[in-house]
Amino acid sequence: MFSIFSMSTYAVTSFFVAVVVFNLVLMIWLGSREHSPRAFAVGIGFIATWVLSAAFAYSFMSLKATDPSIITRNLEITAIFIRGCYFFGTLIGIAMFYFSLTYPNNYKPKLFIRGIFILTGFFVALLYFAKDILSFFGSTIIKEQGIIADVYINTNGYLSWHFGNSVVFFYFFFFGFWSAALATVWQKYKNQVDTVLRKQTRAMFWAISAGIIPGSILNTMFPAIGIFGFFWVGLIATFGWVGIIAYSILKQNQMNVRMVTAELLIVGMILLMFIGFFAV
């Protein structure tokens, strides 16, 4: 059990951002039963889980311990959550590309296509968590297996890590799927003849772009060159992006999502109770 007073500012802030993003997920999910909005909600859900993984990583790193075995255990658990950050980061790209296929006409891809997306997610999990899977089954482990080899605190006091041999797949999947998503939405904007849908598609393109820029720089490019001090800033930037998406939904009536005020208030209270769990 964590105490909120013993956690770092990074951890507490990340938990708060995750709560806000989960609230947006439920607003979209409860506000529409159509396929496209719910596909978008799944993508936003992966963003919330990505932030939550980082929050748990910072939480374990902020635990005070003197026993070497406990310190080692905390580092190993932290490494799992950092791998989770990259895993869910990849799933965000996959989900956004899938959403781009459904938007704005609520198109539902065939079961075969949806199966390919799901299998891709399982493949990514095997690549990124290779070390943890092999450890579970008692197999021989190579330090560089998986996406994260190990984690440590650098000389500046920031949570840092060494990459494993699967990181090249992350860059391929992350930038590949995000680029495909943006290209698809842009092409639909260019080909759209309906004035209202054209305006909505353009707004969605810029909203998605606003979401990818901070994460791709602060959470992807910077760690690749050994800069880890701004990783938490990318998480905070997600909070601003939630505001952009919420404004787009309200102003542009994106995806025909209706506001469900009562549900949001209830959900918000439940999620805040979740945060209260860590204050016990």
pLDDT in tens, 117-169: 999 999 999 888 887 776 666 666 666 778 888 888 878 777 889 898 888 89
Average pLDDT, the chain: 80
In a domain, 2, yes or no: no
Range of the domain at 54: 9-277
In a domain, 184, yes or no: yes
In a domain, 159, yes or no: yes
- The model's confidence at residue 280, banded by pLDDT at 50, 70 and 90, is very low
What pLDDT is recorded for position 88? 93
In a domain, 4, yes or no: no
Count how many domains the chain has.
1
In a domain, 207, yes or no: yes
What pLDDT is recorded for position 120? 93
Which range, 11-25, 38-52, 70-84, is most confident?
Answer: 38-52
| Domain containing residue 39: CATH number | 1.20.1070
> What residues form DSSP beta bridges with 151?
161
In a domain, 58, yes or no: yes
pLDDT in tens, 192-227: 988 888 988 898 898 888 888 888 888 889 998 888
- The model's confidence at residue 174, banded by pLDDT at 50, 70 and 90, is very high
In a domain, 1, yes or no: no
In a domain, 3, yes or no: no
pLDDT value at 4 more than 70: no
Give the rounded percent of residues in the chain with a pLDDT score beyond 70.
77
